[in-house]
Amino acid sequence: MSFYDEVGGHETFVRLVAAFYRGVATDEVLRPMYPDADLGPAEERLLMFLEQYWGGPTTYGERRGHPRLRMRHAAFHVDPAARDRWLLHMRAAVDELQLPPLHEATLWDYLQRAAHAMVNTFEPSGIGPAAGGRDGASLPVTTRPPHEPTA
Ligand code: HEM
């Protein structure tokens, strides 16, 4: 029996991501990072990914291919503040599930490690690789190039 089945299968993961995205929808740091006006498709992708990861249906792979999550997050400004907010909403979502302690600890441990691994910048937003959550190349240059005299 997979972890997916043990914790209640599809219904449990639907509840998890629904609660998580309710938090994201109200978050002033995270919400602007999501490119789509509708959070539904993002919720669906996270749902499919987590279900597959824990031994459920492999729909994520069939539709999206290899997860390559670090790469897929490279376009977004995932600094420690964003990570902490992501974890805050995920913690609330995990709490709502009221899983048995061992299952809860297993799930939470993974989510924390994954979130720490997703951090891709320590720069303030506007400077990092993906300032503003979009393609950094399209941003206005706000700093003086090093070869230019400062006076
Ligand atoms: C640490 C803070 C994180 C932030 C700020 C963040 C933010 C984002 C954003 C803005 C997107 C694009 C939304 C979309 O259109 O799908 C995204 C996609 C995604 N994220 Fe995260 N994320 C974080 C951590 C994680 C973690 C820890 C996981 C896995 C456990 C994860 C799994 C995913 C998946 C599966 C997608 C969709 C990838 C695809 O395109 O197939 N994210 N994330």
119, 78 Cβ separation under 8 angstroms: yes
Minimum CA distance residue for ligand 1 atom 20: 46
Q: Residues near 12 by Cβ (< 8 Å), separated by ≥ 6?
A: 97, 99
Tell me: is residue 116 an annotated ligand-binding position: yes
- What pTM did the predictor assign? 0.86
From 17, 62, 118, 119, mutation site for ligand 1 pocket: most ligand atoms within 8 A of C-beta: 118
- Please list the pLDDT of the chain residue by residue as tens digits (151 residues): 999 999 999 999 999 999 999 999 999 999 999 988 899 999 999 999 999 999 999 999 999 999 999 999 999 999 999 999 999 999 999 999 999 999 999 999 999 999 999 999 998 766 555 544 444 444 444 455 556 555 5
* 3-138 CATH: 1.10.490.10
Please report where in the chains the tokens 């938090």 appear, as a residue: 23
**Residue extents of the structural domains in the chain:** 3-138
Angle at 77 between CA 86 and CA 136, to 5 degrees: 160
